[in-house]
Structure 1
Amino acid sequence: MSRPVPDEVILGLIKAKPTHGYELLECFRSRQQLGRIWTLSTSQLYAVLKRLEQAKAIRGRKISSSNAPPRIEYEVTPSGETQLFSWLYADDPSPSIHRIRVLFLSRIYIANLLGVSHRKIIDAQIIACESQKAKLESRLPNEISDIERLTINYVLSQLDAAVRWLKESDFYLRIIG
């Protein structure tokens, strides 16, 4: 499984407000924003911006200031917006606990920032976790190794906890309540 990348998160931040790299970096450093979810260095951020610009998902324009050096302000292109919303409302999110912590929480953050519904995001994540749980439960009676049984039971417990958290969290109750 590849490592999660922040491309669409950055698209979401730029969609919410055209901005420059330093402001984006502050979002990833602030614990009130994405700082508890992502660890992103300055060079990683600028590599993603370059990749998104080369893919024509964003475009930058130089903004001059009388009291600061010129900065590049980025805005999302129509193809970047399509990429963003495809990611935001993906029908098949990963049931991996790590990906839930990083990508699901990022989706919720960006949906809130953009003022769009996050019910479909939550429901898709619940379905993904429940589907993975059913697959593992069907394998359990067939497993012969004690370590495999132990491992599958561990993952099942994580998935149970994730589904319970998804259903009981405030963001879910506010949506369905």
Structure 2
Amino acid sequence: MEWALPEWTVLAVVRERPAHGFAVAALTARGGELGRVWQMPRPVIYRALSRLADAGLVVPKEIESGGGPPRTVYAITEAGRTAVDEWLARPVPHVRELRSHLLMKLALLTRRELPVGALVAAQRRALEPVLAAVAEERERAVGFEAVLLSWRHGNVVAALGFLDQLGERV
């Protein structure tokens, strides 16, 4: 099953260590370490945990209590570990998702002190044919279609430049 960014992010955080929804929500809130990339409200986090549990990718491990409402701590399953590790290694398919999905993957890999070079290289390889296709379409386009394709072309060129700079640093 293909998940949305909230499910993948929650799964990756639980992959780091067992956690409850409130802790994940703090990371993805405004000002949180992962919230700098993509903010996710607490209800979204709890829905993601529920979906992941229903799919057998996380399981309740214990109930924390003290000072507030009881909180269910979730641990990742082997299937969850495999799924999130594969997702973290996979390049983002659409340029429009680079800002959210790719940056989140890079943040999550960095949190675990894992290398990002392979993902950066794979992402670059995934974008090269996109650039060629957009450039070819742009040559034939007229009117607003030409404007739109110029915008898309510029975005792909900028993304490749970002990946090149990042690749030099890792």
Please indicate, yes or no, whether the TM-score normalized by the shorter chain is above 0.5.
Answer: yes
Distance in 2, Cα, partners of 1:50 & 1:25: 14
User: Is 2:163 aligned against 1:166?
Assistant: yes
Distance in 2, Cα, partners of 1:140 & 1:69: 57
Distance in 2, Cα, partners of 1:36 & 1:114: 17
| Contact preservation (8 Å) 1:4, 1:103 | no
Q: Which amino acid aligns with 2:97?
A: R
Indicate the RMSD between aligned Cα atoms, in angstroms: 2.1
User: Is 2:104 aligned against 1:106?
Assistant: yes
Distance in 1, Cα, partners of 2:169 & 2:165: 10
Give structure 1 regions of 4+ aligned residues with deviation exceeding 6 angstroms: none
User: Is 2:42 aligned against 1:19?
Assistant: no
Deviation at 1:112, TM superposition (A): 1.1
Map 1:16-55 → 2, pairs under 5 A: 16-31=16-31, 33-55=33-55
Distance in 2, Cα, partners of 1:66 & 1:39: 27
Q: Structure 1 116/5 Cα, relative in aligned 2: closer, same or farther at 3 Å?
A: same
Q: Which amino acid aligns with 2:168?
A: L
Q: Which amino acid aligns with 1:95?
A: H
Map 1:20-169 → 2, pairs under 5 A: 20-31=20-31, 33-90=33-90, 92-96=91-95, 98-143=96-141, 145-169=142-166
Q: Which amino acid aligns with 1:74?
A: Y
How high is the TM-score relative to the length of structure 2? Answer: 0.89
Distance in 2, Cα, partners of 1:140 & 1:66: 61
Distance in 1, Cα, partners of 2:145 & 2:160: 22
| Contact preservation (8 Å) 1:95, 1:128 | no
Q: Which amino acid aligns with 2:143?
A: D
Distance in 2, Cα, partners of 1:66 & 1:134: 58
Where does the alignment leave 5 or more consecutive residues of structure 2 unmatched?
none
| Contact preservation (8 Å) 2:9, 2:104 | yes
Q: Tell me, what secondary structure is at the counterpart of 2:74?
A: strand
Q: Which amino acid aligns with 1:25?
A: A
Deviation at 1:166, TM superposition (A): 1.6
| Contact preservation (8 Å) 2:58, 2:76 | yes
1:33-83 CA-to-partner distances (Å, cap 9, x unmatched) read 111222212211111000000000000123344544432111110000111
Identity over aligned pairs, percent: 22
Aligned length: 169
Q: Which amino acid aligns with 2:20?
A: H
Distance in 2, Cα, partners of 1:101 & 1:64: 35
Where does the alignment leave 5 or more consecutive residues of structure 1 unmatched?
none
